[in-house]
Homo-oligomer: A and B are copies of this chain.
Amino acid sequence: MAKNLKIIPLGGLGAIGKNMTVFEYGRNIMVVDVGVMFPENDMYGIDLVLPDFDYVVENQDKLRGIVLTHGHMDHILALPYLLRDVSAPVYGTRLTLGMVERILDEKNLLHQADLRLIEKGDTIHLGPYRVSPFRVAHSIPDAVGLVIGTPVGNIVHTGDYKLDETPAGGYTTDLEALRSLTKDGVLAMLGDSTNADRPGRTPTEQLVRDTLDELFTQARGQRIIIATFSSLLARLQEIIYLAAEHKRKVALTGRSLLQSVELARELGYLHVPEGLLVDVNANHVPREKMVILCTGSQGEPRSALNRMANGQHRQIRVQGGDTIIISGGTIPGNEEDVGRMLNRLFQRGANVIYGRLATVHVSGHGSRDEMRTMLETVKPKFLIPAHGEPRHLFLHAQLAREAGMKSENIFILNDGSQWVTDGNKAWLEESLDLDEVFVDGRLVGEIGEVVMRDRQRLSQDGFIVALIPVNEHHELAGEPQLVSRGFVYLNEAGDLLDAGREEIKRQVRNGAKNLRRDLEDFFYRETQLRPVILPRYIQV
């Protein structure tokens, strides 16, 4: 009996991040990427969001392998959480595996991991799947897309890509290899949708290099400080070469940057001319001969650049005349943090260059014209827009229709959707019921909507715990106490709290039926605020 292929995204749709896709054919499961999502501003106190991979854990006897497209955290950082529960070989390119080793090592899981290198031109066999990677240009080296041969047809998973013709490092997306791998036709494509709302093409990385070159020239006689993403190795390489050309030394600050540079040098992805790197304390190098590379392009509170902005960096004090370049786009939700950091850097007298002022960053994802070229190269029968929020998926679908695809061959999925094909037709089966899996401190998946709602409400108006002494007849037996934080400034709100205590006594004497609601009403009338109110009777 012919079997069907199922594709189930567990993440990567609906929110930027936590990419994870399940392929299932008969008793054979393969997983592509195991990433995390970083929390949105209304996910109070949350450190990370994981894909809900219960389905993989429950079916681990079928799991043939995990394939990673590249080393960004939204594609690999949930791996340690998954590998606590299941074991399977993990395939990736050299740099990707290098990054995986580091994150597994931090969780003491490296010794038990089965990591397997894939190289250009390889085809790996995982049960019924033949997986052939092809090189893509992205904001991290060694990124690949995948052509996945299955018994019902070829599936292309683009990974994250742009079609930059002059990328840093010189490796552009290998459309030739893709064409050759797909010459038998493509049944379905999962395509990167990130920039589906950007017309045209994403500017080339070469433009950033040229802009930086010009800024280096303008900054002659001044120190240069550049913040970028630590995984943006191609950018780091450009800056290192530019520093050498402009006869400057480079110092690094920020833990993730140091780790990233060390790893990339070990693996040969970053070439640093002899003697170029100096310690951040190097006093023998004059200021105007220094480039300081640091973390903090998102204004993250504890990043190196933000510590400089706040005057809290141990080694580096920003001074008048310093040129500071923010060479990283602002991730939505971080605008206020970045804005505040910029303000403080300017207040310290620095000359700060950021995205609005010059092309000091470009996206690692292709825009609409590149997405169209990809569609026309792959010519899939079915399209599954991937890697984006719903608006990006819908705009990707719109683009595909403009390119001539039939609406019924485009499938907008949700995380948990089960897309099924027999190689000819495709349809949806009942979705898996997925949870948001929050990581908060040491707790994984224990904090859900209830706690989130409470934190939201506490953040708005604080709380009042009312302690009400009663005797065995449930009669008031003393003065109520109010324990409160985040509601009003207690030292100045004596009258309000006194009135609150009187209200409690009045209600208890009248045989309060719902004291919590009575108090909510009372404090709302008085303040128009709605603190969380928790009355507790104390038997004395």
Contact = CB atoms under 8 A, between A and B. Distances in A.
Contacts of A457: 486
Given A199-B357, A336-B40, A485 B467 contact: no
Contacts of A40: 336
A486 B356 CA distance: 39
A468 to B, nearest CB: 11
B489 A450 contact: yes
A391 B487 CA distance: 33
A481 interface: yes
Interface string A337-351: 001001110110001
A465 B462 CA distance: 13
A456 B456 CA distance: 10
A86 interface: no
Interface stretch (A76-84, A139-147, A151-159, A523-531): A523-531
Give the interface size bracket for A toward B.
Answer: 35 or more
Interface in A463-509: 463, 465, 467, 481, 483, 485-489, 492-493
| Copies of this polypeptide in the complex | 2
Interface stretch (A24-32, A172-180, A435-443): A435-443
Interface of A: 14, 40-42, 44-45, 197-199, 332-333, 335-336, 339, 342-344, 346-347, 351-352, 354, 356-357, 389-391, 393-395, 398, 440-443, 446-448, 450-451, 454-463, 465, 467, 481, 483, 485-489, 492-493, 526-529, 532, 534, 536, 538-540
Contacts of A483: 465, 534, 536
B462 A458 contact: yes
A486 B450 CA distance: 8
Given A447-B488, A455-B460, A540-B540, A442 B528 contact: yes
Given A335-B335, A346-B395, A451-B486, 14 more contacts: A14-B343, A45-B461, A45-B462, A45-B529, A333-B335, A339-B389, A343-B391, A351-B398, A441-B528, A447-B489, A451-B487, A457-B486, A481-B536, A539-B540
A199 B120 CA distance: 44
A465 B526 CA distance: 25
A540 B472 CA distance: 12
Contacts of A395: 346, 357
Nearest to A344: B390
